[in-house]
Amino acid sequence: MKNSSSCVSLAVCVVLTIILFFSIQSHQHIFPPVISIPNPRLMKGYIALQAWKLAMTSDPNKFTANWNGPHVCNYTGVYCAPAPDDPHILTVAGVDLNHANISGFLPEELGLLKDLSLFHLNSNRFRGTIPASFIHLHLLYELDISNNRFSGQFPCVVLYLPSLKYLDIRFNEFHGDIPEQVFELELDALFLNDNKFESSLPENLGNSPVSVFVAANNDVSGCIPPSLAKMAGTLEEIILSNLGLTGCLRQDIGILKGLKVLDVSFNKLCGPLPESIGEMRNLEQLNVAHNKLIGQVAESICSLPNLKNFTYSFNYLSGESPVCLGLLAKDDSRNCIPNRSLQRSSEECKSHYLHQINCGAITCSRN
Instruction: Give the chain's end-to-end CA distance (angstroms, integer).
Output: 19
In a domain, 2, yes or no: no
pLDDT interval class at 312 (50, 70, 90): very high
In a domain, 1, yes or no: no
- Lowest model confidence (mean pLDDT) among 15-19, 183-187, 219-223, 250-254: 15-19
H/E run at residue 57: strand 56-58
- Which contacts (CB < 8 Å, 24+ apart) does range 54-60 have? 54/107, 55/104, 55/105, 55/106, 55/107, 56/102, 56/103, 56/104, 57/103, 57/104, 58/101, 58/102, 58/103, 58/104, 58/125, 59/100, 59/101, 59/102, 60/101
- Report the helix count and the strand count for the chain, using DSSP H and E: 5, 21
pLDDT interval class at 26 (50, 70, 90): very low
Which residues lie across from 249 on neighbouring strands? none
pLDDT above 90 for 28: no
pLDDT interval class at 35 (50, 70, 90): low
Distance CA 148, CA 171 (A): 7
Domain count, the chain: 1
pLDDT interval class at 265 (50, 70, 90): very high
* pTM of the predicted model over 0.85: yes
Full residue range of the structural domain in which residue 275 is found: 7-366
β strands within 138-208, DSSP E: 142-144, 151-153, 166-168, 173-176, 189-191, 196-197
pLDDT interval class at 199 (50, 70, 90): confident
CB 313 within 8 A of CB 304: no
CATH number at residue 307: 3.80.10.10
